[in-house]
Each structure stands twice: as C-alpha cells, then as structure tokens.
Amino acid sequence: MTSSTALNEARRATELSALADGDPIDLIVIGGGITGVGIALDAATRGLSVALVEKHDLAFGTSRWSSKLVHGGLRYLATGNIGIARRSAVERGILMTRNAPHLVSAMPQLVPLLPSMNTPSRALVRFGFAAGDGLRKLAGTPASTLPRSRRIDAKRAIELAPTVRRDGLDGALLAYDGQLIDDARLVTAVARTAAQHGAVILTRVAASNATGTSVTLTDQRTGESFDVSGRAVVNASGVWAGEVDPSVRLRPSRGTHLVFDAEAFGNPVAALTIPIPGEINRFVFAMPEQLGRVYLGLTDEDAPGPIPDVPQPTPEETKFLLDTVNTALDVALGPDDVIGAYAGLRPLIDAGEGRTADVSREHRVVESPSGVLSVIGGKLTEYRYMAEDVIDRAVELRGLTASRCRTRNLPLVGAPSNPVATLRSPAELPSSLVARYGAEAPNVIAAASCDRPTERVAEGIDVIRAEFEYAVSHEGALTVDDILDRRTRIGLVAADRDKVVEVAEEFLAI
Ligand SMILES: Cc1cc2nc3c(=O)[nH]c(=O)nc-3n(C[C@H](O)[C@H](O)[C@H](O)COP(=O)(O)OP(=O)(O)OC[C@H]3O[C@@H](n4cnc5c(N)ncnc54)[C@H](O)[C@@H]3O)c2cc1C
C-alpha cells in the first residue's frame, strides 16, 4: 500500500481517532526514535498493520543526541567483536548506497601524527585503518563511496584541519567513515517512509499499561486515553524501556558533545580525531557539521538514577573534551568558544560491573512475562538490521502473516529512487537544502505557500523559510520546539534559536 509521506496535524487527528475506534492491529510500536521508526517501516513494508506512538516528538530521545556517525564498526573490531563490526560495515554500506545516500556522506577523519603519539599508538591506528578498509571491502562498499585510508603530509593535514598543532606535526593518518547530515532527519525520513507504506505514526501519544496484546494510549495534547489491542506490542522506548516494561534492566551511559562555530577550528573539512591520553583505542572527535558548526565529542559516563527528558552535560565533561582537543591544537580553545552543548543517554544493556565504554553495543530482543517484546541496546547505524530482527521475532512468536524483510533495497523519502522525489530540480537550489532533503529538495520549495519561501529564516542561518513550512506540512512538526530542535538543529545554539522563534511561530499559525 502506498500513502502520502506527509505527516501533519490533520493526518494525526484522523489516524488517532481511527485507531481509537478501529479493530485490533498487527503491531503497536512504543517509541519514535530510530529503533521504533525502523521497526514501523520494516513491519509496514511486510504488509503488517502497524501503529507507532511517541510520547513527545520524533527523535525526542537519544536519537537526536548521537555523534551522527554511520560507523563502519572499527571500534568493535578492536575489542574483538567481529560480528557487530562486520554488521555495522554492511549496514553502513546499505545506508550509503541504497536506503539514504542523500543523508549520509563520506567524512574524512584525520589522526594527526604529533610527538605526543608514540610509535605503538601510531602502528595501532595504521593497523586499525587498514582493517577498516578490509571491513569496507568485505561489506561490498566501493571505494568511490568511501575512499581508502592513507597517510598524508603535514601540509595537506593543515589544509583539511587548519587549527591542528603544527609544531612537530609529521603528517596524519586519514580514513573515511559515514556521516549523517543529522540524526533526527534520518528518524523523520524513516518515519515518513513508514507512513508512505501505510504505517500510522502518532506523536504526542504516550503508552502505558503495556501487555503482550494491549496498550493504553494517552493523547498528550488533550489528556484523553483509550485502549488499543494488537497482536504484538514492541517496546522501543530506548533508555525509558524500563518505565514501559519494569522487567527490563538498563545501564544508561551519558555521552556529551560541545558545539563550536566552525571558524574556531578554521572551517575544517575533516574531522580531527585525537587519541585520549592514557587510553588505548579511545578518541575525541571534532567533526565539521551543517550550519557552519563543529561538534566535539564525546564522553562515556555512568548515568544512574531517574531518566531525565533532556540530559545535561556536566562541567567535568566539558573540561575533559576541551583539555583533550587542546592537546592537538595550535591555539587552545576555552569555555568561551563553546556556543552550545548536548548530552544523550545510551540505552546500554545492564551487564553488571565495568566501565560503560566497555559495555557491548549489541542489541537484544526480550519477551517479558507480560508478553511485551522489548528491544534494547544497539546503535543507530544498525537500526535496519535491528528492525528486521524484531519483526522476525514478532512474526515467529505471534504467528503473524508477513512477507520477508524488504528494507535492504528500500529507498527512504528523499533518496533519488523513491518515487515521491519526482519533481525536477530548479536550476539553483541551495546546497544546504539538497544536503538535508536530497531529491525531495525541489518539493520543499514547490509545496511552500508562505511569503519569500527561499529567504533565510535569519541572517547567518543557512535554513530557508520553506523548510519551516515543510516541517509543519510534511514532517509532523506540531510545535516550535519540533521545528527548531528536531526538524532543524538551529536550537543547538541558544543565540541562533532566539533569532528564529518568532519565525517558527508564524508557520504554526498558518
Ligand atoms: C552521545 C551518543 C552518541 C552516539 N553516537 C552514535 C553514532 O554516532 N552512531 C551510532 O550508530 N549510534 C550512536 N549512538 C547510539 C544511538 O544514538 C542509540 O543507540 C539510538 O539513538 C537509540 O535509539 P532508540 O530509538 O532506541 O531510543 P530513543 O531515540 O531514545 O527513542 C525512544 C523514544 O521513546 C519515547 N518514549 C519513551 N517512553 C514512551 C512512552 N511511554 N510512550 C511513547 N513513547 C515513549 C521517547 O520519547 C523517545 O523518543 C550514540 C549514543 C549516544 C548517547
């Protein structure tokens, strides 16, 4: 079944009341992060009837706080976890060549060879990069998509990362990995593609009293509740999984990133990858990002206790990141250079003692005594594989009638071969618009009914007015925060956010 990809307030109202009045459905998915939307897409494309409910907004949780990397799995190889390393490389290739080539690009990562890096560490990185090339080949991803690793000289290293420390710089090691234009945009694209294939996607609807065959849903906007029956109920609520199903035990770990104006790093083209002093195989990354920014991450800290809606970075994490990056820079950065910061909680499986950095990133599907199927752990990179696994399990356990998984070759909304992206490009489209919407970019302008659709929302912010309108008309944004903090990431910098709040309000009043 093919439906419109547009998510908006009118569709939400219609589908919410149809769900309240309707017959039981095959599958209810709780949580609109990357895991939940991936499951909804897998289910819908196999012919199952599916409704996904999200308490806040798409990508409200951990899925918008990631490093935005589609990892090749090198890190897991180093810890001997060959299965997950290989799978990550395969999933990266699928995303970059078939599912979402418009949202994932090859990011150069540069490890500067400075005197502070001893010979064994250099050999380890060289070996790791060569192994990464091997993984890429094994996964069938061509070098035209992800170039081979190599050594570069100091001059080239400075061109790619102009503020790298020059004193004693003996060139750099360079490798490539997948980088998302933005994680929350991937979540929205997967959700809209699921809707295109008939899934019901409802934001601001919270689930409670989940059992194997039913859930109470509460519209967060009206406070009204009703019960829904399903043949299977999947808990994909990430770090909140234990609140939805008390039999689930997680060990959240916090990861923090700092946000800089790209000028503070000399407008780099490559990500600076800096070994953490005293650690093996752990690095901090300063990555060039959209909107003229650099994100510097990341930490890995135990985060016990109640789960906040929006986790906050600590001063210690900020200091650690600045101290580490400064070991490789010519001009030291300080707290005044930081223009924003964000933290997210990894939904790690509780494996007892040990550092959270060493806890496996494998996912697990568990059936609780109440019959709820919970999916826990995992990585954004592997969402498609995780979804396939969850639906295979649900089909087997509940005897559902479904076809085989179809997502390997399925283009998401905005990928060139998705049929909705058929409008011809006007000659001059802003490159930032294409980077965020892919082949759908012309639709964003064509669908706009606002004044001055191609004008920027504010001076110095590379987002046009038509994007705000599209967020509301097609991408399910219901509030100013949805537009500023998830459909666009303007809100990561408070000063930028202040400049455009009123513009966003204008679009919600239409
Ligand atoms: C700092 C950091 C960096 C990372 N970097 C990377 C990376 O670069 N690459 C990578 O592959 N992975 C990365 N990860 C891992 C990845 O981000 C997560 O594994 C993934 O985003 C988890 O997604 P999720 O959908 O399971 O959870 P979430 O995104 O948290 O989604 C769960 C959703 O459930 C909703 N919810 C909760 N309770 C209810 C309820 N009762 N009813 C309805 N909805 C509910 C929440 O509002 C939330 O939106 C990183 C993680 C962190 C923390």
Query: What is the whole-number distance in angstroms between the Cα of residue 398 and the centre of ligand 1?
Result: 26
Alpha carbons 278 and 285: distance in angstroms, whole number: 16
Q: Which of 261, 260, 67, 263 is nearest to 163 (CA)?
A: 263
Give helix 383-398 / helix 34-45 axis angle, nearest 10°: 60
Q: Which residues neighbour 366 within 8 Å (Cβ) at sequence distance 6 or greater?
A: 247, 248, 373, 374, 376
Flag whether pLDDT at 358 surpasses 70.
Answer: no
The residue type at 170: D
Alpha carbons 59 and 244: distance in angstroms, whole number: 18
Buried b (16+ CB within 10 A) or exposed e, 11-32: bbeebbeebeeeeebbbbbbbb
Query: What is the whole-number distance in angstroms between the Cα of residue 344 and the centre of ligand 1?
Result: 8
Give helix 119-138 / helix 82-94 axis angle, nearest 10°: 60
Q: Residue 203 gets which letter from DSSP?
A: E
Residue 425's pLDDT is: 57
Query: What is the whole-number distance in angstroms between the Cα of residue 380 and the centre of ligand 1?
Result: 8
**Which tokens is 494 given?**
């408070």
Q: Which of 242, 489, 456, 479 is nearest to 347 (CA)?
A: 242
Query: What is the whole-number distance in angstroms between the Cα of residue 379 and the centre of ligand 1?
Result: 8
Residue 424's pLDDT is: 56
Residue 455's pLDDT is: 96
Cross-strand pairs, 456? 464
Mean pLDDT value across the chain: 94
Ligand 1, atom 32: closest residue by C-alpha:
237
- What is the Cα 380 distance to its own chain's centre? 6
Mean pLDDT of 347-354: 76
Alpha carbons 443 and 422: distance in angstroms, whole number: 8
DSSP E strands in 82-167: the ranges are 104-112, 150-152
Q: Which of 31, 137, 35 is nearest to 382 (CA)?
A: 35
Rg (CA), the chain: 22
What pTM value is reported for the model?
0.97
Q: Which of 322, 350, 349 is nearest to 336 (CA)?
A: 322
How many residues belong to the chain? 510
Flag whether pLDDT at 356 surpasses 80.
Answer: no
What is the residue whose two structure tokens read 């513009």?
503
294 close to 259: Cβ distance less than 8 angstroms: yes
pLDDT grade for 20, boundaries at 50, 70 and 90: very high
Mean pLDDT of 343-372: 82
Within 6 Å (CB) of ligand 1, which residues are found? 30-36, 53-56, 60-63, 65-69, 71, 206-207, 236-240, 244, 255, 298, 344-347, 378-381
Mean pLDDT of 365-377: 95
Site to substitute for ligand 1 among 28, 29, 58, 62, most atoms within 8 A of C-beta:
62
Flag whether pLDDT at 159 surpasses 90.
Answer: yes
pLDDT grade for 2, boundaries at 50, 70 and 90: low
pLDDT in tens, 166-191: 999 999 999 999 999 999 999 999 99
Site to substitute for ligand 1 among 63, 71, 208, 364, most atoms within 8 A of C-beta:
63
What is the residue whose two structure tokens read 């949580």?
31
Cross-strand pairs, 51? 28, 200
CB half-sphere exposure, 489, CA atoms < 13 A? 27
Flag whether pLDDT at 381 surpasses 70.
Answer: yes
What is the residue whose two structure tokens read 């999933």?
91
Query: What is the whole-number distance in angstroms between the Cα of residue 212 and the centre of ligand 1?
Result: 22
Flag whether pLDDT at 359 surpasses 70.
Answer: no
Atom of ligand 1 at shortest range from CA of 298: 1
Ligand 1, atom 26: closest residue by C-alpha:
238
- H/E stretch holding 186 reads helix 183-196
Mean pLDDT of 188-199: 98
pLDDT grade for 288, boundaries at 50, 70 and 90: very high
Alpha helices in 343-416 (DSSP H): 383-398
136 close to 150: Cβ distance less than 8 angstroms: no
Atom of ligand 1 at shortest range from CA of 61: 30
Ligand 1, atom 19: closest residue by C-alpha:
379
Residue 191's pLDDT is: 98
- H/E stretch holding 13 reads helix 9-21
Query: What is the whole-number distance in angstroms between the Cα of residue 355 and the centre of ligand 1?
Result: 20
Flag whether pLDDT at 371 surpasses 70.
Answer: yes
Alpha carbons 107 and 215: distance in angstroms, whole number: 42
Atom of ligand 1 at shortest range from CA of 309: 47
Ligand 1, atom 2: closest residue by C-alpha:
66
Flag whether pLDDT at 352 surpasses 70.
Answer: no
Measured distance between the N- and C-terminal CA atoms of the chain, rounded to whole angstroms: 31
Site to substitute for ligand 1 among 182, 240, 481, most atoms within 8 A of C-beta:
240
Phi, psi of 461 (to 5 degrees): -115, 120
| DSSP calls for 454-503 | TSEEETTEEEEHHHHHHHHHTB---SHHIIIIIIS-GGGSHHHHHHHHHH
Alpha carbons 79 and 73: distance in angstroms, whole number: 10
Query: What is the whole-number distance in angstroms between the Cα of residue 173 and the centre of ligand 1?
Result: 32
Site to substitute for ligand 1 among 379, 389, 390, most atoms within 8 A of C-beta:
379
Atom of ligand 1 at shortest range from CA of 377: 19
Query: What is the whole-number distance in angstroms between the Cα of residue 422 and the centre of ligand 1?
Result: 32
Atom of ligand 1 at shortest range from CA of 379: 19
Alpha carbons 410 and 320: distance in angstroms, whole number: 41
pLDDT grade for 79, boundaries at 50, 70 and 90: confident
pLDDT in tens, 451-483: 999 999 999 999 999 999 999 999 999 999 999
Q: Residue 198 gets which letter from DSSP?
A: T
Helix/strand/coil (H, E, C) string of 26-75?
Answer: EEEEECCCHHHHHHHHHHHHCCCCEEEEECCCCCCCHHHCCCCEECCCHH
Residue 277's pLDDT is: 87
- Give the whole-number percent of the chain exceeding pLDDT 70: 95
Query: What is the whole-number distance in angstroms between the Cα of residue 471 and the centre of ligand 1?
Result: 21
Alpha carbons 428 and 177: distance in angstroms, whole number: 29
Give helix 183-196 / helix 34-45 axis angle, nearest 10°: 20
| DSSP-based three-state secondary structure for 334 | coil
pLDDT in tens, 210-244: 999 999 999 999 999 999 999 999 999 999 999 99
Query: What is the whole-number distance in angstroms between the Cα of residue 416 and the centre of ligand 1?
Result: 27
Site to substitute for ligand 1 among 220, 380, 381, 485, most atoms within 8 A of C-beta:
380
Query: What is the whole-number distance in angstroms between the Cα of residue 134 and the centre of ligand 1?
Result: 29
Query: What is the whole-number distance in angstroms between the Cα of residue 282 and the centre of ligand 1?
Result: 22
495 close to 339: Cβ distance less than 8 angstroms: yes
pLDDT grade for 77, boundaries at 50, 70 and 90: confident
Mean pLDDT of 281-288: 93
Query: What is the whole-number distance in angstroms between the Cα of residue 62 and the centre of ligand 1?
Result: 3
Query: Residue 508, Cβ neighbours under 10 Å: how many?
Result: 16
